[in-house]
Chain A
């Protein structure tokens, strides 16, 4: 009572106890944090992206746009059908392609191709795109997302693996002019 600054033996032990718990908590926080953030850290340096085949180029007639599907390269055993992904393949001419994500560049709903009017239309908020993926009208601020592609051994192969979203690296391809 006379001197509150005096450290008693039990007081010291209590403080050591708190310190010890703090140390153990800090040590455990590292693996817990790494576990929680693993879905982010794994994707660093394009860890999720791979080249996937969409099948032989002969499936895609010149001048037409067709729906193709592929299995996402990064899968978990519980994914079921959700790891199957669709994309729109436009064959411009013999060796030029455009592979669009089905996800609208506005908020990700699946756009549908209408060959008669040459437009992709989104069922959610009314976005529309021209045949080359450029924005035609509606709320999207940019054109459709495009997958990088190459033709290997007569098959069209795209680089995919991440959900394309307006802010993702997969979407950081060229911004298209508002009018084509």
Chain B
């Protein structure tokens, strides 16, 4: 024991770190902050450490070259001992990190922890969120497969829409005129050197400020933050009702961090690594690229925005969102901290969560994309052909062969780009059906040039049979009147 003490003293005489470490460990925190709600920041830091370690391990094998990255990932998955597990840990760690950072942010927002004097801690936190998302996107690129390749194309297409400098930004981003070797190399540099370097620096600042300013006290309804009095009140609180951070509060952080690490490892073990999907060969166009989980909402948004709104939304939206997050502590740096007295804050969180959740769910089954194989893969359900005439059956063939099924479902099978046609005859009259097929409209292409008159007749005859048993097909009421009149009205009589 004495030897250990002497060695410790030898180091501390030179490092001089024992004193500040003791200060940090024993700094008093309000007793009620030793809560399970206050564990997400330290959990995020723990997962970040896991990402650094597994990232370095992956870099021992990974080759950041467009020609070889994909095969080096295959080697990691199938050749290197436990390479698949390290890849899985890194991939799942990434998902957990984004999730925990978001939960941490929501907790900090709802507990009013961004208010005076912790404004800068919040702003640095916003940058940490952006860097975490940046790591998630660049990491997805390093998993150099078809999703990564076409994902880069989407990124380039968005960047190119910036006025004036768009094309230059694209070349800077890609490192050349196309997505190729230089692109992967620079995303590797950004993912491995630039963002992690910044992240480490900003995390250190973030934690330093938490220690220096003290952890946010448990918000009490009615305990209002005022710039003039807050610091004194906080110090009085920690003096009156404080306890040293170690061990009073840290045990919950430690247990939660261990649970999170175990969960990451469990997911890695059970679900395995992400991809890689097909080889990033641009001449293979039979691919349906999709972003990783945390960018699915954006994928849905890009599909659902009206075309004219898209470029402004893509270029101005992020500026407004980031600007709002940065301005938040300046706009409401004082006042109530408790969520019980901040209904708008709670509703904002719920609205954003429901919106992102809905978009994410939609992006999992992409109702806006034509189902490319439905026309040849999903036969017309039998009940729609029962008792059909030869013409109607021919129409059903036209319906399949012209790929209508890729966008329109029958019997809940087929694309969801356009409306389901199970009961279309109730909605549209014969004339309306003909017009819709030939001229398109309402987001449907015009098929006039692609259907012969005979095909159109057959197709519409088939569509006319698509109505529920008890409901008659729609018909034009004026048609009956016109047909029932004895002859054409006398043109001269009405003049």
Binding site for B on A (CB under 8 A): 36-37, 39-40, 43, 48, 67, 69, 72, 74-86, 102-103, 106-112, 114, 116-119, 121-126, 128, 130-131, 136-141, 161-163, 165-169, 171, 179
Contacts and interface: CB of A to CB of B under 8 A. Distances in A.
A147 B423 CA distance: 43
A169 to B, nearest CB: 6
B283 A179 contact: no
A138 B150 contact: no
A82 B449 contact: no
Contacts of B308: 141
Which of B159, B180, B181, B279 has most chain A Cβ within 10 Å? Answer: B180
A75 B287 contact: no
Nearest to A67: B285
A82 B181 contact: yes
A112 B150 CA distance: 14
A94 to B, nearest CB: 21
B154 A107 contact: yes
Given A118-B450, A167-B166, 14 more contacts: A76-B180, A81-B279, A82-B281, A109-B153, A109-B289, A116-B401, A121-B372, A126-B369, A137-B440, A137-B444, A165-B157, A167-B162, A167-B170, A171-B160
A108 B177 contact: no
A70 B230 CA distance: 68
Which of B149, B156, B161 has most chain A Cβ within 10 Å? Answer: B156
Contact of B177 (A117, A124, A162): A162
B181 A78 contact: yes
B364 to A, nearest CB: 14
Contact of A116 (B160, B162, B372, B402): B402
B6 to A, nearest CB: 42
Contacts of B149: 82
Given A76-B181, A86-B285, A116 B403 contact: yes
B72 to A, nearest CB: 12
Contacts of B356: none
A110 B303 CA distance: 15
A14 B181 CA distance: 45
B406 interface: yes
Which of B175, B283, B403 has most chain A Cβ within 10 Å? Answer: B283
Nearest to A106: B157
A102 B175 CA distance: 21
B178 A82 contact: yes
A107 B157 contact: yes
Interface in B367-397: 368-370, 372, 375
Contact of A69 (B160, B283, B307, B404): B283
Interface of B: 65-68, 149-150, 153-154, 156-162, 166-168, 170-172, 174-185, 279-283, 285-289, 299, 302-303, 305, 307-308, 310, 368-370, 372, 375, 401-404, 406, 417, 440, 443-447, 449-450
Contact of B180 (A79, A107, A139, A169): A79
Given A72-B177, A108-B150, A167-B160, A139 B281 contact: no
19 contacts: A40-B171, A74-B178, A77-B181, A78-B184, A82-B183, A117-B445, A117-B450, A123-B288, A124-B288, A124-B303, A125-B303, A126-B368, A128-B445, A130-B449, A137-B440, A165-B156, A165-B167, A167-B166, A169-B167
Contacts of B447: 117
A39 B417 contact: no
B285 A110 contact: yes
B334 to A, nearest CB: 40
Which of B156, B176, B286, B444 has most chain A Cβ within 10 Å? Answer: B176
A83 B160 contact: no
A78 B166 contact: no
B171 A119 contact: no
Nearest to A80: B67
Contact of A79 (B67, B370, B443): B67
Nearest to B167: A168
B463 to A, nearest CB: 16
Nearest to A74: B177
A158 B115 CA distance: 60
Given A121-B406, A123-B369, A137 B445 contact: yes
B174 A80 contact: no
Contact of B178 (A109, A130, A163): A163
B403 A117 contact: yes
Given A108-B150, A136-B446, A139-B307, A102 B178 contact: no
Contacts of B160: 165-168, 171
Contacts of A131: 449
A92 B65 CA distance: 40
Contacts of B307: 139-141
Given A112-B286, A118-B450, A79 B66 contact: yes
Contact of B282 (A85, A126, A166): A85
